[in-house]
Amino acid sequence: MKMYETTQSVERYLNVELECSCGRTHYAPIKAVNIGKGAINSLPDYMARFGYQKPYILCDPVTYRVAGEKCEALLREAGYAPQVLVIRHLGFDEATLGEIVIHKPEDCDVMIGCGTGSITDMLRYSSFKLKLPCFTVCTGAPMDGFAASVGIMNVDNLKATMPAHNTELIIGDTDILAGAPWRMTLAGFGDLIGKLSSLQDWRVAALVNGDHYCRQIDRLVTDYVEDIMARTGSLKARQPEALGAVLNGLLLTGTVISLYGSSRPISGAEHHMSHYWEVLGDQRGKDYAMHGEQVAVGTVLALMMAEELLSAQVDFAAARRDAAAYDPQTWEAEIRRAYGSAAGAILELEEEAGKNRPEGRLRRIDRIEAHWDEIRALLEKGYPSGDLRQMLKDLGCPSDPKDIGLTEEILKDSFRYCKETRARYTVYQMIWDLGLTEALSDRVMEKLKRLGAL
Ligand SMILES: [Zn+2]
Ligand SMILES: [Zn+2]
């Protein structure tokens, strides 16, 4: 089939090969999504439709009460004999995986996970290892991982992204979502509006770094983000349609990872900031807020940096001198300081990607200069950081570094080094290419202090 020219509902992108004018065929292997009031009641129908007989339900004590119990009852009524595991090892690590395997019935043919991040990640990973299909029943919408093909779990006490598979079905019952903590929904909103900066990064990367770009996917994500931003009034009133729209948007952006083949369109500088804060949080035994909340703050900051770039004096000759004078030893010492015990992985990544090496940087400076007018026009269309900040404040979502416990020192290092967490071109890498990181981040930090945000 041909890729749609106009934006469609999430369901229409699932389990169908879409030939696109961008030259790629887009495909998302998820079979069905059902979001709406009472959606959980459709679970037995999907069991019948997909031909499964022996469900194995995973939940924790909370999600059992919220959704697991209901799934169990619905399946029993429909004549199935589900086995339920209320997980007791809640570290979402080797012990959790062991518990899941130990209690798995021999004849089970589908696994059903009820929960949000940790449980559904563990579901996709464990079912993948056990070579079983899986279904997801969402109990909240705090992030866009439900539609992912990977699973995040703790391995040897470190958060690891493990190869897994997509869930076949995602159910989001808006009655259940309405009962989820409000903070969780706001975090989901934060992860969604993060696309304001990730899309901008992607467009810049296509011009400067030659990243594959797809106009239709850009349009699709943009439409969903604009839709949710137009609904902040009903979201604030916690109306079920708005809660459903948040989950819908998160499923769509998650599906885009499969459609595009990586998270490039939906994860940029704002996510690099979140990854960096998570690394620091783990090392310092501190919790710098939920993922989606971090993304919300990171998005405001990324948009502010882009705005500063627009008003900066760009000196391409100075940028070239800066690139030629790059000293990997100084950089390495700084990474060791900023990343502590996580520095090894960052150094390895740079060894492989070489994104800071002078040759590549000089090439990119040439391209930035050649496309400078286009890049400026693109950044000028960016969503104003001040408006976004106000929108987040109105909703009660963190918007400022201060809201999530970040100090001045952490923030400065975030502007300098968060880009090192992934080999992905963003506005931060472009600002670094131009030798403007110090100057622009100083200006943003001064502005944040004036606003009382830092
Ligand atoms: Zn395409
Ligand atoms: Zn995210």
Which single residue is written with the structure tokens 């589908």? 110
pLDDT tens figures, 253-262: 989 998 998 8
Ligand whose nearest atom lies closest to the CA of 152: 2
Domains and CATH numbers, the chain: 31-180 (3.40.50.1970), 184-450 (1.20.1090.10)
Hey, is 451 helix, strand or coil?
coil
Q: What is the mean pLDDT of the chain?
A: 95
DSSP H helices, 261-357, are 269-284, 291-310, 316-324, 328-339, 343-353
pLDDT tens figures, 384-415: 999 999 999 999 999 999 999 999 999 999 99
CA 296 to ligand 2 centroid distance, Å: 10
Ligand whose nearest atom lies closest to the CA of 261: 1
Q: Residue 310's closest CA among 387, 400, 372?
A: 372
Residue 51: left if φ>0, alpha if ψ -120 to 50, beta else—which one? left
Tokens at residue 144, please?
Answer: 């866009």
pLDDT band at 155 (very low <50, low <70, confident <90, very high): confident
Cα–Cα distance measured from residue 271 to residue 292, given in angstroms and rounded to the nearest whole number: 9
Contacts of 84 (CB under 8 A, 6+ apart): 57, 59, 64, 68, 72
- Which residues have their alpha-adjacent CB atom under 5 A from ion ligand 2? 191
> What is the Rg, in whole angstroms, of the alpha carbon atoms belonging to the chain?
22
pLDDT tens figures, 321-354: 999 999 999 999 999 999 999 899 999 999 999 9
Cα–Cα distance measured from residue 284 to residue 209, given in angstroms and rounded to the nearest whole number: 35
- Which residues have their alpha-adjacent CB atom under 5 A from ion ligand 1? 20, 22, 214
pLDDT tens figures, 211-266: 999 999 999 999 999 999 999 999 999 898 898 899 899 999 989 998 998 899 99
> What is the reported pLDDT for 149?
87
Q: Residue 187's closest CA among 197, 201, 177, 200?
A: 177
Return the percent helix, strand and coil in the chain, to nearest 5. Answer: 60, 10, 30
DSSP H helices, 209-239, are 215-229, 232-236
Residue 276: left if φ>0, alpha if ψ -120 to 50, beta else—which one? alpha
Cα–Cα distance measured from residue 226 to residue 247, given in angstroms and rounded to the nearest whole number: 14
Is pTM beyond 0.85 here?
yes
Q: Between 19 and 288, where is the model more confident? A: 19
CA 24 to ligand 1 centroid distance, Å: 6
Q: Report which residue type is found at 61.
A: P
Q: Would strands 158-163 and 150-155 be described as parallel, antiparallel, or unpaired?
A: antiparallel
Hey, is 423 helix, strand or coil?
coil
> What is the reported pLDDT for 233?
95
Q: Between 158 and 392, where is the model more confident? A: 392
> What is the reported pLDDT for 287?
84
Mean pLDDT across 78-87: 98
CA 234 to ligand 1 centroid distance, Å: 33
Which single residue is written with the structure tokens 């620091």? 280
CA 71 to ligand 2 centroid distance, Å: 28
| CA-based max dimension of the chain | 74
